[in-house]
Structure 1
Amino acid sequence: MDTVGGTILVAVILAAIVAAIIYKLVKDKKQGKSSCGGSCGCCPNSSRCHRS
């Protein structure tokens, strides 16, 4: 039973970390922050982030 408890604990910790990362990404997106490096010539998503 100790193995199951440890597995559940690790799963809960990993889920909390993933949730925190997703929360931060959504929050940054709403504030207009981006991880864009500015090199749009080679970016496959340039048409999505720089719509005219």
Structure 2
Amino acid sequence: MGTVVVAAVLVCVVGLILKGMHKDKKNGRSSCGGDCSSCGGRCHR
């Protein structure tokens, strides 16, 4: 039973993180910071 509770909490936390990342991307904000040299090649400009 404890494993199920921990798994449910982890799923909720990951879901909230993904929701926040999606919201930030929708609003034009990203973790890249606009500096493509420090982005590791993932910059989409």
Same fold (TM over 0.5): yes
Runs of 4+ with >3 A deviation: none
Report which structure shows greater RCO (CA 8 Å, sep ≥6).
Answer: 2
Q: Which runs of 5+ in 1 are unaligned?
A: none
CA RMSD of aligned residues (A): 1.5
Structure index of larger Rg: 1
Query: What TM-score, normalized to structure 2?
Result: 0.79
- Bigger helix share: 1
Query: What TM-score, normalized to structure 1?
Result: 0.70
The aligned length equals 44
Identity, % of aligned pairs? Answer: 43
Q: Which runs of 5+ in 2 are unaligned?
A: none
